[in-house]
Amino acid sequence: MAVVSDDIVFHNLTAPERVEGATAFRAHVAVIQERWPDLAFEEHALYVADEAGVAEWTARGTAPDGRVVEWDGIDVINCRNGLIVRNAVYSSGHAPRIVTAEVPPTSRP
């Protein structure tokens, strides 16, 4: 949260999700972390010029049904005075790859 502006706009065009302002962004991130507690991002490339950047990444996490899934995406990031003012997300999150299928419950004797 230290790198976002008070007037940040976070727009996930895949979901679609759009939140405006640091308070709404913080709440949005908290919901994502609650649903995907083990969500991790592997960054493949970062391109930066002036006050803009593009990050290519793969996300991986355990879905609520127990499957481990992953998807690819890019973030287009705009900054002002060193703070993020807009983050637009484009990803394949609507059709993630299944890494591991749901594990059946353990049988007990």
Number of domains within the chain: 1
Domain containing residue 81: 4-100
Within a domain: 107: no
CATH number at 80 reads 3.10.450.50
Closest to 37 (Cα-Cα) out of 15, 7, 68, 75:
68
pLDDT at 104: 53
- 54: Cα separation from own chain's centroid: 14
Within a domain: 109: no
Within a domain: 96: yes
pLDDT digit string, tens, across residues 56-108: 999 999 998 899 999 999 999 999 999 999 999 999 999 999 998 755 555 44
